[in-house]
Amino acid sequence: MKLQEYRFLSGDGEDELYGCAWLPDGPVKGYIQILHDLYDHIERYMHLLQFFAEHGYAAFGHDLVGHGRSVYRNGPGQISARHTYRHFIEDAETMFYLVVKDAMPKKEQKKSYIHALIGFGFGSMLAKQYAIMTSNCNALILCGDYGFPSLYRKAMNIYAKECRKKADTEPAEKTEDYILSHYGIDNMDTFLEERVSKPREQKKLKRDACCQLSYSMQYMLNRITLCSLYMTEDWISQLPEYLPILFMSGYEDVFSNYTRELDVVIRKLNYAGAENIFYKYYEHKKHELLFEDAAVNVMQDMLKLIRRLEEHSIERKLCWYQCWKS
């Protein structure tokens, strides 16, 4: 395996982003792309990237703008005034094509390969939008998805009042407080406890400066705008009906209302005719599954899904709609 690092310009034309990929020693079987959560960064997922690279996949991700090593010039949690939620998707697609260029010979690049997006929390919202806006994703694994986040309707109203008094670069404190209070969170310790149940991982989060962010008004606008797209069922009809989607969550994840929100989404997807919808819930686990005791099982379950997709592809043309019934 080898580590490849990237620096590239965001679609907004201002923000410089950092990305990395672990490439296998042999031929590339497919692409596994990670989109991380808020209060998060890609370096925390190195074990997952290496896991997939060991099994023959080009595994990669980037720090979302304002996170990790993709820090905007005004600091962490900041974003360019030109940045919109669509730039999150453009940046993820740019990262994908950069890795494709390095991962295999040019003559192989136009063949059909698995390109699975694994989204965590806010990253799962980005992953769904990626599948809607682009044509190069053929599987979604959504960890810690929010379901139908109706709270963002009121969050937008609070933001509208707050932005009248603040500049784009100032912290969106009232809006952030409302969003967290919706989940019963009123301080940082409670927030960490709801993210992951292991005390050791909570301490790591507390020490990690890249996970201690205060989001600016402009960043909050991007965040609310994106999450508001999922408050109704409209987005369901925009997804390719053949698209395989695996929802993964801990039963103790407060951000999905203890999986209840996900159950509603899954029912709506099935009612709309989607046939390749699956879920896996884990007992006594919270929001960050990869940092719980079940992490190894979670990664194996992800790999199991990818391998099953490979087994049912015909000449690497991904015909999931029929094959997932078997």
Burial per residue of 262-273, b for 16 or more beta-carbon CB atoms within 10 angstroms, e otherwise? bbebbeebeeee
CB atoms within 10 A of CB 202: 18
**Global pTM exceeds 0.75:** yes
Mean pLDDT of 117-136: 96
pLDDT confidence of 111, banded at 50, 70, 90? low
Sheet strands (E) in the chain? 2-9, 16-23, 30-35, 58-62, 114-120, 139-143, 245-250, 277-282
| Structural domains of the chain, ranges and CATH numbers in brackets | 2-149+232-323 (3.40.50.1820)
Q: What is the mean pLDDT of the chain?
A: 90
C-alpha 277/C-alpha 279 separation (Å) is: 7
pLDDT confidence of 314, banded at 50, 70, 90? very low
Mean pLDDT of 305-311: 88
CA atoms within 13 A on the CB side of 47: 9
Helix axes 217-228, 151-163, angle to 10 degrees: 150
Taking only the tens place, the pLDDT of each residue in 10-20 is 998 888 999 99
Report the chain's C-alpha Rg in angstroms: 19
pLDDT at 311: 80
Among 69-78, 137-146, 205-214, 233-242, name the one with the lowest average pLDDT.
Answer: 69-78
pLDDT at 313: 61
C-alpha 130/C-alpha 136 separation (Å) is: 9
Q: Where are the alpha helices (DSSP H) in 208-272?
A: 217-228, 234-238, 260-271
Q: Which residue has the higher pLDDT, 304 or 105?
A: 304
CB atoms within 10 A of CB 168: 17
pLDDT over 90 at 257, yes or no: yes
pLDDT confidence of 107, banded at 50, 70, 90? low
Query: CB neighbours of 165 closer than 8 A, spacing ≥ 6?
Result: none
C-alpha 242/C-alpha 273 separation (Å) is: 9
pLDDT at 317: 40
C-alpha separations of 230 from 74, 84, 153, 169, 246 in Å: 30, 16, 11, 26, 17
The pair phi, psi for residue 38, each rounded to 5°, is -70, 160
Q: Which of 110-119, 196-205, 269-278 has the highest mean pLDDT?
A: 196-205
